[in-house]
Amino acid sequence: MTETLTPVKPGKLIINGQPVDSASGKTYTTFNPATEEPICTVAEAGPEDVDRAVRAARAAFEGPWSKMRPAERQRVLWRLGDLILEHGDEIARLETLDNGKPIFESRQIDVPMAANCFHYFAGWITKLAGETLPVSPSFFTFTLREPLGVVGAIIPWNFPMIMVGWKAAPALAAGNCVVLKPAEITPLTAIRIGELALEAGLPPGVLNVLPGKGAIVGEAIVKHPGVDKISFTGSTEVGKHLMKLSADTLKKLTLELGGKSPNIVFADADLEAAVRGASTGIFYGKGEVCAAGSRLLVEGSIYDDFVARLADRARKLAPADPLDPKTRLGALVSETQMNKVLGYVETGGREGARLAAGGQRQPVNGKGWFVQATVLEGVENRMRVAQEEIFGPVLAVIRFDDVEDAIRKANDIPYGLAAGVWTRDVKKAHAVARRLQAGTVWVNTYNFYDAGMPFGGYKASGFGRDLGPECLRDYTQVKSVWMNIE
Please say whether the beta carbons of 319 and 313 come within 8 A: no
Strand ranges inside 199-277, DSSP E:
207-209, 229-233, 252-256, 262-265
Of 40, 117, 290, 471, the catalytic one is 290
Between the alpha carbon of residue 215 and those of residues 181, 233, 337, 410, the distances in Å are 11, 15, 18, 34
In 336-475, where do the E strands start and end? Answer: 354-357, 374-379, 394-400, 415-416, 418-422, 440-443, 458-459, 462-463
H helix or E strand, kind and range, residue 38: strand 37-43
CA 338 to chain CA mean position, Å: 19
Catalytic residue status for 471: no
- The neighbouring-strand residues paired with 13 are 20
Give the separation between CA 129 and CA 140, rounded to whole angstroms.
16
Q: Is 86 a catalytic residue?
A: no
Do residues 331 and 33 touch, judged by C-beta distance below 8 A?
Answer: yes
Catalytic residue, from 44, 184, 256, 377: name it.
256
State how far the alpha carbon of 425 is from the alpha carbons of 240, 357, 433, 436, 441, in Å: 39, 30, 12, 17, 16
Size (the chain), residues? 486
Residues acting as catalytic residues: 256, 290
